[in-house]
Amino acid sequence: MSLIHRINRSLGSEALPLLGALLVVVVGFSLATPLFLTASNFGSMAFQLPVLGLLTLAMMVPILSGGLNLAIIYTANISGLTLATVLIAFGGPEAGIGAFLIGSLAALLVGTLAGLMMGLIVAYVGAHPILVSLAMMIFLRGLGEFLTRGGDISGFPDYMKVIGHGSLAGIPVPLLIFIAAAILWHIMLRRTRHGFSVFMIGSNIDAAEYSGIPTKRTLATLYALSGLICAVAGILMAARFNSVRVGHGEALLLVTVLACFLGGLDPFGGFGRVLPVCLALAILQALSSGLNLIGANQHLATAVWGLFLIAVMAIRWAAGRLNITRFGRT
Amino acid sequence: MPRLFTTHPVEARLAIVLALIVLGLSLSTDSFLTLANLTSLLNNNSVDLIWAVGLLVVLIAGGIDISFAVAASVVQYLTAQIFGATGGNWALGFIVAGSLGIGLGLINAALIHGFRVISIVITIATFNAYFGLLMSFTKGRNIYTLPDWWVDRIFIFEHQSENGVWSELNLSVAVMIVCVFATVVLIRWTNIGRQLYAFGDNPEGARRAGVNIALMQAVAFGWMGMMAGIGGLMQVNIAQEVIPNALYGRELDVLAAVVLGGARLGGGRGSVLGCILGVMFVAVTRNGLNLLGVSPFAFQMIIGAAILVAISSSNLNFDWRGAARRRRATTGRDAA
Amino acid sequence: MSGTKEGAPFALKLRGVSKRFGGVQALNQVDFNVRAGEVHCLAGENGCGKSTLIKIVTGVYTPEPGAEIEVFGEPQTGMTPTQARDMGIAVIWQDLALFPHMTVAENIGFDQMVGGRPRLAALGQIRARAAQLLERLGVTLDLDARLNTLPIAQRQIVAIARALMGEARLIFMDEPTASLTQSETDALLGIVRTLSTEGVAIVFVSHRLAEVLEISSRVTVVRDGRLEGIYPTEGMTQARLGELMTGHTMDHQVIARDKSAAAPVLEIDGLSRHGQFEDISLTIRKGEVVGLTGLIGAGRTELAHALIGRTRPDRGMVKLCGREIRPRNIREAISLGIAYVSEDRLSLGLIQPQSIADNISITVLDRILGGLGLISPAQKKVLVSHWIEDLAVKIGRPEDAVSTLSGGNQQRVVLAKWLATEPRLLILDSPTVGVDVGARAGIFRIVHRLAEAGLAILLISDEVSEVYHNADRMLHMADGRLVETYDPRGTTVEAMEARIYA
């Protein structure tokens, strides 16, 4: 009992139930198909998860602050497009490492700027983040379509494959990037003044302001950071698909929100942790890979994700009622 | 009009901006202020407007619905399955599509109220569930063999001008007008509508006054569902086929238009007039860019920028956080 | 004082009403009655069960079995809010429970929209009746104005009109004067008297004892969920009523000391901000507690906001420890050594859903940083436990939400978070709002200890006796100006109240 208590305290109360759910899913699919519990399946899961994972981290912080960022996919696309443009300018497949670094830097800058602009409007105009990010999404989508005329940009240097498909000490590079980002995010949220401020703003922005929290700066920064991590996702997508197209990953937008809620983020803001969200991502990936292995089509996984979220909400509701009757809270 | 400024400031401001755009386009192009162009504007946007007034009701009641566009696709698919290649007629079509839509909406309402979860979480879940199931069942294939009544063009107005150009309004415009009027009646003239506003504005206050919360959720999401179904029916009439993923993504465009029209995320404020203005603002801008010969690839970018400018130059929805806190206070507790 | 209405029929009669919430006994065998046309006061400390009682009578809560409820002579078993309203019972909640984005007419007529079949709303009819009601109350309001554009006093009137719209014969008013100025309160009490002569029974809940004694003919005192007694107001004094509510006698003494020799900490000279305060000059010295009192709306909170950088003054000068300061925001004010305890603890003072530990450390994140500029959990723990111990905050665990604490303990957490900034000037804005009478003494013991240690304190309060008993000097603010300075040793509470409420 005290161990559970200690784990809940250090990892968040959502971690253990989600770990349990993950185990159930993994055991279930292992029994259903011998292909699930194999190195190649886990390898392909490890390559697929990171893009969704990075985008979910980008969605997470705005939700913690009581907002939402609906522009993440197109921020990633535009950042990828920036990288692609630089690479093409330096000769496409012949572009050197220097060009890649410059391109990546430019991509990160573009992503951060897109996020910063949203943050500034949310902070200083006070407009609703859903509306601001929705408008930014429409704008970035349009900008991307305008620049690419709806087509793909491809033909990147070979070394970029290392990022998208390579492994380091047996661990896929995309997964390493995601793990690094998740650890950074965890530290940012739990241990920095900025992270602390995000939670406080999410619960009550006025009281945070009265307590000396720089609320406007925090809002601007958190959307800028959201844009930054989108750019990382955009670079990774370019490396994985060896092409950039505006609209790539469009379907992931609402999946990232789903993953956040599944990971126990309070939809009103103020509460949530990185680790349960990572577990939620792992569950979603396991569901999709497992269904794929037993011969279901890709879309059934989408449906199962939605149904799974509803089931989790029902269980949390039931657990909440149980607590109320047990402890007599009103 | 001066009265509108105090009661509906967002709508009034948007009306002026829209009037200026219309004026500008009328002066700078020959083709904007023609019957043919105006009728096609209506034809092309009637489905969005049907959805917009449905979404408005949900927003007024303090909710949000992400799932309505894919719900409309589900309704289209099921309706096509029910009628096959020859069955049904318009009357049955409206009944079937409307009822299916209401059913899907009530699923949302039941989950939201039953598990005390805010609507964005539930409707994102049902969005995924509806869409995933639809794509699995259809395998993504389009349905072309539809009953004749469904795909035949019906014009409610036709006119040939002297230079031989036809102007016409199709059935979807008539349906849109009925839906818009019905929504006005619901939210402005009935006691239920007043309760919807009150519930969105101050849920705890409404609860204390004896408003039936479950009924409010059911009315809001049921109405949205009905509009989704009817809009889906009319969209097939225009597109002549059922494409399972055709409506995917439309929910956010409609949402942007409705919120631009002054509906408050968080509830309690919004009008049908604002809805129409919001949808028409986007539609007229797109139409104008087209007539001005701007590259179609730039449309979205300019519209997005226009919305960003519109948001930044006003402080609409300023008190969104307060509303969220109030809502937390009621959704967290059981209806005693 | 209104007539005692003896012999008038009972509007409401309760016997043996109890209510449990889980393990908490909110009400225990309470009896209560009101006669038609009577103004009856319900008095008791926060959390004594007053609100629970109102919610039972109006059908929001169901009482435990065994309770007898009689409304206008008819025994009731289990009511819904709609039924209660149909019987002529109305409540004006402390938070008014109005709808900010709806118009005045829509708010007044809202209850007519609830219940029954779906139907067309008779909007024109409701509007006409709303206009009639406002006329009956003797006020002019724009029926089409949105409620959130009205000042709080006018919203209060909208709430009363809403209650009367349903032909209410029994109206509960929960702290109706809490946010009104004296003249607004007088107007409200006038309306209450009018209603009473028309035969409407009114149950008046207020913590302002003077008001209670002025308006009501009988007072029912509830303590810890139990009935303390029902008393006629004739012959009742404020002191006696306070004793009945808290259960112990309040022995107050004047603690004022002469601090004129100490070094000045805050010096304000000719400070003005248009429409809020005018030509304010005052000095607070090291270890001195200066009370600032006056009616709500006199500009007290506005002055505090200018000192902490929430707003900018138009003219004048502020000096802290001899140096001129112009803070541009709260962060600058904190770093200069100014701490501000807001009057609104629920929505501004604390972040209610977050933990006690986070609420204490929020102001001093800079001081608990470890390596790499990261927040050090160990240092945070030390800080939090130091203040919890120092201020004797009664908590379960530091990671519990601050909302789980009682009002008095929450206020201690507020003090902790501000004392952690090591301020030179502490501004306390109505620090005992929502704090039980019993727990108030504890808060002021801390305040006096801080003053002993040399902190300069500005104590803002609209409760004259609170300032009188706790300040070294008292300033009286009215209409944005400082009108007079008093020494508590040279005057009495009654004399001051007479001046301030004149």
Q: What is the pLDDT of residues B158-190, one digit of tens each?
A: 888 888 888 889 999 999 999 999 999 999 999
Q: Please give the residue of chain A at the shortest CA–CA distance from B333.
A: A330
Lowest-pLDDT choice from A179-183, B165-169, C367-371, C386-390: B165-169
pLDDT in tens, C441-467: 888 999 999 999 999 999 998 778 888
Q: Tokens in use for C208?
A: 């302002």
Q: Say if the Cβ atoms of C120 and B190 lie within 8 Å.
A: yes
> How many angstroms separate the CA atoms of C282 and C290, rounded?
10
Task: Give the DSSP H or E segment for C210.
Answer: helix C209-215
- Alpha-carbon distance of B137 to A123, in angstroms, equals 44
Percent of chain A's residues with pLDDT above 70: 95
Contacts of C369 in chain A (CB under 8 A): 193
Smallest CA–CA distance, residue A313 to chain B, in Å, is 7
Separation of alpha carbons C309 and A45, rounded Å: 53
Residue C2 pLDDT grade (very low, low, confident, very high; cuts 50, 70, 90): very low
Query: Residue B195 and residue C113: Cβ atoms within 8 Å?
Result: yes
Checking if the pLDDT of C3 tops 60, the result is no
A·B CB contacts under 8 A = 179
- The pLDDT assigned to B287 comes to 92
Q: Report percent pLDDT > 90 for chain A.
A: 68
Q: Give pLDDT tens digits for A220-246.
A: 999 999 999 999 999 999 999 989 998
Could B190 and C146 be called an inter-chain contact, meaning their C-beta atoms sit closer than 8 Å? no
Tell me if A214 and C352 make a contact (CB, 8 A cut-off). no
Highest mean pLDDT out of C46-50, C76-80, C298-302: C298-302
How far apart CA B188 and CA B272 sit, in angstroms, is: 9
Q: Rounded distance, CA C305 to CA C311, Å?
A: 6
> Which chain A residues have a beta carbon less than 8 Å from that of C24?
328, 330
Average pLDDT over every residue of B1-9: 69
Could you tell me which chain A residue has the CA closest to the CA of B313?
Answer: A125
Q: What is the pLDDT of residue C338?
A: 96
Residues 2-31 of C with CB under 8 A from A: 21-24
What is the CA angle C97-C98-C99, rounded to 5?
A: 125
Mean pLDDT of chain B, nearest integer: 88
Residue C1 has pLDDT above 50, yes or no: no
Q: Which residue of B has its CA nearest to A246?
A: B297
* Chain C residue at shortest CA distance from A215: C331
**Is some CB atom of chain A closer than 8 A to the CB atom of B332?**
no
Q: Distance between CA C396 and CA C412 in Å, rounded?
A: 14
Residues 6+ apart with CB under 8 A from A322: none
**How far does the CA of residue A117 sit from the closest CA of chain C (Å)?**
23
Residue C111 and residue B195: Cβ atoms within 8 Å?
no
E strand segments, C357-472: 425-429, 456-460
Distance CA C115, CA C124 (A): 19
Q: What is the separation, in whole angstroms, between the first and last Cα of chain C?
A: 19
User: CA nearest C106: which of C153, C157, C146, C166?
Assistant: C146
C358 within 8 A of A204, measured Cβ to Cβ: no
Give which of B166, B207, B68, B179 is closest to B126, Cα–Cα. B68
C62 contacts in chain A (CB < 8 Å): none
Residue A60 located in a structural domain: yes
At B324 the pLDDT is: 43
Q: What is each CA distance from B229 to B233, B235, B318, C195, in whole angstroms?
A: 6, 10, 33, 53
**Subunits with at least 3 CB pairs below 8 A relative to chain B?**
A, C
Contact residues on chain A for B64, CB-CB shorter than 8 A? 130
Report how far residue A233's alpha carbon sits from residue A53's, in angstroms, rounded to the nearest whole number. Answer: 9
Number of domains in chain B: 1
Mind listing the pLDDT tens digit for each residue in B292-322?
Answer: 988 888 888 998 998 888 777 655 443 444 4
In this complex, the residue of A126, A267, A303 whose CB is nearest that of residue B129 is A303
Residues A258, A254: Cα–Cα separation, whole Å: 6
Q: What is the pLDDT of residue A287?
A: 93
Give the DSSP letter string of C237-276: -HHHHHHHHHSS-----------TTSPEEEEEEEEEETTT
pLDDT at B326 over 50: no
Helix (H) or strand (E) holding C188, with range, is helix C182-197
What does the pLDDT look like over A104-154, one tens digit per residue? 999 999 999 999 999 999 999 888 899 899 999 999 999 999 999 878 898
Residue C123: predicted pLDDT: 84
Of A70, A205, A303, the CB nearest to B136: A303
Return the ∠ at Cα C268 (arms to C265 and C273), rounded to 5°: 145
The separation between CA A228 and the C-alpha centre of its own chain, rounded to angstroms, equals 12
CA-based Rg of chain C, rounded to a whole angstrom? 25
Contact status of C360 with chain A (Cβ, < 8 Å): no
How would you classify the pairing of strands C456-460 and C425-429?
parallel
pLDDT band at C181 (very low <50, low <70, confident <90, very high): low
Q: CA-to-CA distance for C51 and C43, rounded, in angstroms?
A: 11
Mean pLDDT of chain A: 90
Q: Do C373 and A207 touch (CB under 8 A)?
A: no
Structure tokens at C199: 């035969």
| Interchain pair B128, A142: CB under 8 A | no
The predicted structure's pLDDT at residue B196: 96
Burial of C117 (0-12, 13-18, 19+ CB in 10 A): exposed
- Here the ipTM equals 0.89
**Banded model confidence at residue A303, pLDDT cuts 50, 70, 90:** very high
Residues with Cβ within 8 Å of C494's Cβ and at least 6 positions away in sequence, in order, are none
Rounded to a whole number of angstroms, the distance from the CA of C412 to the nearest CA of chain A is 15
Evaluate if residue B6 carries a pLDDT over 90. Answer: no
Average per-residue pLDDT for chain C: 86
- Comparison of pLDDT for B22 and B324, the residue scoring more: B22
**Low-confidence winner among A190-199, B137-146, C232-241 (lowest mean pLDDT):** C232-241
Q: Is the dihedral of CA C376, C381, C387, C393 positive or negative?
A: positive
Instruction: Give chains near A: 3+ CB pairs under 8 A.
Output: B, C
CA-to-CA separations, B4 to B8, B9, B49, B188, B313, in angstroms, rounded: 5, 7, 22, 15, 19
Query: Of B189, B201, B264, which has the smallest distance from its Cβ to C99's Cβ?
Result: B201
pLDDT tens, B72-90? 999 999 999 999 888 889 9
What is the number of alpha carbons within 13 Å of residue C199 lying toward its C-beta? 8
Q: In the β-sheet with C24-35, what is the strand arrangement from edge to edge?
A: C24-35, C10-21, C68-71, C74-76
Q: Which residues pair with B279 in a beta bridge?
A: none
Q: Is C347 on the interface with A (CB under 8 A)?
A: yes
| Residue among A203, A213, A328 whose CB faces C353 most closely | A203
**Cα–Cα distance for residue pair C278/C297, rounded to 1 Å:** 13
Residues of C with CB under 8 A from a CB of B: 60-61, 80-82, 85, 91, 93, 95-103, 106, 110-116, 118-121, 123, 144-146, 347
Q: How many CB atoms lie within 10 A of CB C95?
A: 12
CB contact under 8 A, A142 and B299: yes
The pLDDT value given to residue C75: 86
Facing residue for A66 by CB, picked from B127, B132, B321: B321
Contact yes or no for A200 and C330 at CB 8 A? no
Question: Is C328 part of the contact surface with chain A (CB cutoff 8 Å)?
Answer: no
Q: What's the CA gap between B206 and B214, in Å, rounded? A: 12
Domains of chain C: 10-246 (3.40.50.300), 252-337+424-502 (3.40.50.300), 348-422 (no CATH)
What band does C79 get if pLDDT is binned at 50, 70 and 90? confident
State the total domains in chain A: 1
Nearest CA to C245 out of C204, C290, C206, C298 is that of: C206
Q: Which domain holds residue B245?
A: 2-331
Rounded CA separation C22/A326 (Å): 8
Is A146's CB within 8 Å of B297's CB? yes
Closest CA to C375 of A200, A213, A192: A192
Digit-coded pLDDT (tens) for C340-362? 998 888 889 999 999 999 999 99
B247 close to A (CB below 8 A): no
Please tell me which residue of chain C has the smallest CA distance to A327.
C22
Q: Which chain C residues are within 8 Å of B336, Cβ to Cβ?
A: 60-61
Give domain status of residue B301, yes or no: yes
Local confidence band at A328 (pLDDT 50, 70, 90 cut-offs):
very low
Question: In angstroms, rounded to a whole number, what is the distance separating the alpha carbons of residues C150 and C217?
Answer: 32
The stretch A11-27 carries a mean pLDDT of 87
Q: pLDDT tens, B42-65?
A: 999 999 999 999 999 999 999 999
Most confidently modeled range among A58-67, A308-317, C137-146: A58-67
Question: What's the confidence (pLDDT) of residue C107?
Answer: 92
CA dihedral C31→C34→C40→C44, nearest 10 degrees, is 20
pLDDT band at B330 (very low <50, low <70, confident <90, very high): very low
**Interval C244-292: pLDDT, tens:** 887 766 656 777 888 888 999 999 999 999 888 999 999 999 999 999 9
| DSSP H or E stretch at residue C39 | strand C39-43
- What is the C-alpha to C-alpha distance for residues C233 and C245, in angstroms, rounded to an integer? 14
Residues 91-150 of C with CB under 8 A from A: none
Residue C218 pLDDT > 50: yes
Least confident of B111-115, B140-144, C112-116: C112-116
Neighbours of C439 (CB within 10 A): 17
B192–C contact, CB cutoff 8 A? yes
Q: Tell me the residue ranges of DSSP E strands in C44-184.
A: 68-71, 74-76, 89-92, 170-174
- Test B259 with A131 for CB contact under 8 angstroms: yes
Looking at residue B40, its amino acid is S
pLDDT band at C324 (very low <50, low <70, confident <90, very high): very high
The pLDDT of residue B2: 60
Closest to C285 in 3D by CA, of C304, C307, C259, C255 = C259
Give the domain extent around A152.
39-249
CB contact under 8 A, A132 and B311: yes
Task: Tell me how crowded residue A173 is: count the other CB atoms within 10 A of its CB.
Answer: 20
Which tokens belong to C253? 């003494």
